[in-house]
Amino acid sequence: MDAKVISRLELPSRAAAQGYAPQKTENGEAHGAFNTACLPQAPGVAGRGRSLAENPEQFYRNGRPDMAHPANRSTAPHFAAARKKRVVMRMSHAIRSTALSALVAAATFGAVGAALAFENDIFDDSGEVKAESNPWSVFQFGYSAYKSGHKDQAVEAYRYAAENGQLGATWKLARMYAEGDGVARDDYEAFKFFSEIAKQDVEPGSPEESYMSDALVALGSYWKKGIPGSPVKPNAAAAQEYYMRAAANYRNPNAQFEMGNMFLKGEGVKASVRQAGRWFQLAAEKGHAGAQATLGNLLFQSGKVVRGLAMMTAALERASPNDRPWIRGMQEEAFALAAEADRRTAIALADDILTKGNQ
């Protein structure tokens, strides 16, 4: 999105810190560490010849150097100079802190003022987006509002941008309703927004490909399971159509995985393990953990025990938290049936797959 718009809307963060890491000498001692042997001796006092560190009660009174003490007379100018230096340092630190605070405050109020001014350019007094607003600019504003936590404003901005041809805004609205992100979850509302995207003509490889590809997969899932309380009822044939568009036209790995499952189970298509394996292979090559695990299980069942176990083991390591439970169940079941030697070889091969990225 436009960097100028973001800079006006998002509050800049500033941090300044200074630190000191003590450096060690060759003998392991830290520079700046106190060495009592280096302190001046206190002549003419009890404990003659002992260092001041060993006679603190004679050198200090009430926590301050006793300047009447003989040991301190020769060092009085040094204490005065040190005290003056500390005062100057404290004043300098206070000045720097004040200046930094003023700078941060100026940046804060400046950013807020710019954001409010830009907001006034988009919204009218009733809170609606002004009709003459540029759809792309409103989409950018919606993105910035979303990132800063103002999701109510983001929804209004996205809705206006979507109604005026911004495909990204339509997709963002669909995702928000599908996930209940900033709005009450409404799968049928999400379904309608995804359907609007699916009607568009988006060329593979174009900047809007990801919106189309994701929308087709979402629609396939809605048709596969249905949406309770809506006109969308389970329809395997419709689901297969949307998955196929995303898998074949846009090479979406999630869609290819779903196509593999449909061929494997005969949902909406004639069951075919060969066709299922083909789709699983395409998705697995793109790093889809579910496809890797399922393909590994097919190989295991076909007699390629070591290779199958290795693929399931590697997939388990790569899987998302949502996929991990069912992949673990599949892998553990296969391991329980395998010989000990095959298990060890498969584990070594899985490590090789994870390290080198081989299938």
State the pTM of this model: 0.65
Rg (CA), the chain: 35
| Together in a domain, 279 and 217 | yes
**Model confidence pLDDT, tens digit, residues 287-296:** 999 999 999 9
- Compute the distance between CA of residue 300 and CA of residue 260 in angstroms, rounded to an integer: 17
Dig out the tokens for 344 from the structure.
């060890």
Q: Could you say which DSSP state residue 287 is in?
A: T
- Compute the distance between CA of residue 158 and CA of residue 118 in angstroms, rounded to an integer: 16
| Together in a domain, 220 and 268 | yes
| pLDDT in the model for residue 133 | 80
| Together in a domain, 279 and 151 | yes
**Model confidence pLDDT, tens digit, residues 86-131:** 544 555 555 555 555 555 444 444 443 444 444 556 666 556 666 6
**Structural domain count, the chain:** 2
**How many Cβ atoms from other residues are within 10 Å of residue 354's Cβ?**
15
Would residue 352 count as lying in a domain? yes
| Together in a domain, 351 and 261 | no
Would residue 304 count as lying in a domain? yes
**How many Cβ atoms from other residues are within 10 Å of residue 329's Cβ?**
10
Q: Which of 56-65, 124-133, 326-335 has the lowest mean pLDDT?
A: 56-65
- Compute the distance between CA of residue 304 and CA of residue 94 in angstroms, rounded to an integer: 73
In CATH, what number is assigned to the domain containing residue 214?
1.25.40.10
| Together in a domain, 171 and 281 | yes
Among the listed residues 190, 121, 188, 131, the one whose alpha carbon sits nearest the alpha carbon of residue 155: 190
Choose the final residue of a domain: 286, 303, 326: 286
| Together in a domain, 149 and 222 | yes
Would residue 267 count as lying in a domain? yes
**Model confidence pLDDT, tens digit, residues 3-60:** 443 333 343 333 333 333 444 444 444 444 434 343 334 444 444 444 434 444 443 4
- Compute the distance between CA of residue 273 and CA of residue 281 in angstroms, rounded to an integer: 12
Q: Which residue has the higher pLDDT, 132 or 40?
A: 132
| Together in a domain, 257 and 279 | yes
Instruction: For tokens 């000191």, name the residue.
Output: 20
What torsion, rounded to 10 degrees, do the Cα atoms 263, 264, 266, 269 define?
A: 0
Helix or strand holding residue 87 (H, E): helix 76-122
129 to 124, 157, 171: CA distances (angstroms):
6, 7, 19
**Model confidence pLDDT, tens digit, residues 179-191:** 999 999 999 999 9
Contact 159, 151 (CB under 8 A): no
Dig out the tokens for 343 from the structure.
């298990």
pLDDT at 302 over 50: yes
β-bridge partners, 24: 30
Choose the final residue of a domain: 255, 286, 317: 286
Contact 36, 172 (CB under 8 A): no
Segments forming the whole domain that contains residue 335: 289-359
What is the identity of the amino acid at 49?
Answer: G
| Together in a domain, 185 and 260 | yes
Would residue 206 count as lying in a domain? yes
Per-chain mean pLDDT for the chain: 78
Q: How many residues does the chain have?
A: 359
Choose the final residue of a domain: 286, 309, 336: 286
Among the listed residues 203, 140, 125, the one whose alpha carbon sits nearest the alpha carbon of residue 6: 140
| Together in a domain, 271 and 332 | no
Contact 256, 288 (CB under 8 A): yes
Please count the CA atoms within 13 angstroms of the CA of 288 that sit on its side-chain side. Answer: 21
**How many Cβ atoms from other residues are within 10 Å of residue 232's Cβ?**
19
Contact 342, 305 (CB under 8 A): yes
| Together in a domain, 249 and 151 | yes
**How many Cβ atoms from other residues are within 10 Å of residue 181's Cβ?**
14
- Compute the distance between CA of residue 347 and CA of residue 352 in angstroms, rounded to an integer: 9
